[in-house]
A and B are shown apart, each in its own frame.
Chain A
Amino acid sequence: MERIEVLPHDLIKITVVDFFSEQVIPDWVVESLNKTPLVIVRRGHAVDGKIPVGVRGVKREQRFAGYVLSAKLHSEDIITPHSLIQNSWDKLPEVRRMLPAIAAFPKIAPLLNNYHWGISGSVGFELASGASTAKSSSDLDLIWYESQKLSREESVELLNKLNQFGVHADFQVVHGQKGFSLEEFAKSTSDTILIKTADGPKLSNDPWAEIEKD
């Protein structure tokens, strides 16, 4: 059997009946999946082959947690944030490409040529599905699959470049399941940085070393 690895922020095309939850599934979730059968991998361990995923609704607060079985996945159904930076923008209708977060994307892309990066959040979901999920107030959620450490000065410089296009760029530094906000690292007045992990959030004095720990 094919063994498929997924990471937080990956998108999975599913068959609606394969989605399940410990909670009662609300009507909006079923409607949403029927329209766009795409779920987002959440942070967390896959216990007994159950991959934690989330469903996105129309409203910002509409998020619903559930699972899909890894045995049901096919590698061609996984859309990574990194795969979305190629050829996906041109396919959106012009009116959608005028939204600030989507309009900023092709301007930001050349700045990240030397990074292994991807796009998540509402813009990533829209690029993957064509569904109108981005809003005029949406941030641009970027993921960097970290490979080298940046100093505070380098981080400030990079964020200033990414944030010059009229939209807030949220740049998350990730390594496997772990991740932290580059903005927090750049601006923090605290000694610690919040790291999101598969076992929940924790504070760390050295986020670069912490995310590389197993």
Chain B
Amino acid sequence: MEKLHFSFDTKEPIQKPVHVGVVASGDLEVIFRPTTDTKSDINIVTGSDGFKEVWQNVLDRFFARYPIQANIEINDFGSTPGVVNLRLTQAMEALKDEK
């Protein structure tokens, strides 16, 4: 098990928390929480060690597209980058959802 931390300078604060994904092999949970900080902190707990660079790439691409300001928690259970990207997309959908 590995704990990773990333930080991005961002400027679009989110207004509500969102939680997508599940605790299951090959999957992950993604939680966005509003923050009062001026950057986004991402804390990842992953069952698959040695993928720091892959996470960095996934997050670089995500924040280039959506510079949201949030505290982000990710609990990963051996998911693939494809699943990670979809879960992040799904979290963005949930964030935009007015319900």
Residues of A in contact with B (beta carbons under 8 Å apart): 60-61, 63, 121, 139, 141, 168, 170, 172, 181, 183-184, 187-192, 194, 196, 200-203
Contact = CB atoms under 8 A, between A and B. Distances in A.
Given A61-B47, A188-B20, A190-B18, 10 more contacts: A61-B48, A63-B78, A172-B24, A192-B90, A192-B93, A194-B86, A196-B26, A201-B80, A201-B83, A203-B89
Contacts of B94: 189-191
A196 to B, nearest CB: 8
27 contacts: A61-B47, A61-B49, A61-B78, A121-B25, A141-B25, A168-B23, A170-B23, A170-B24, A181-B22, A183-B23, A189-B18, A189-B20, A190-B18, A190-B20, A190-B90, A190-B94, A190-B97, A191-B94, A191-B97, A192-B90, A194-B21, A194-B27, A194-B87, A202-B86, A203-B86, A203-B89, A203-B93
Interface string B59-99: 00000000000000000001010110011011101100100
Contacts of B25: 121, 139, 141, 170
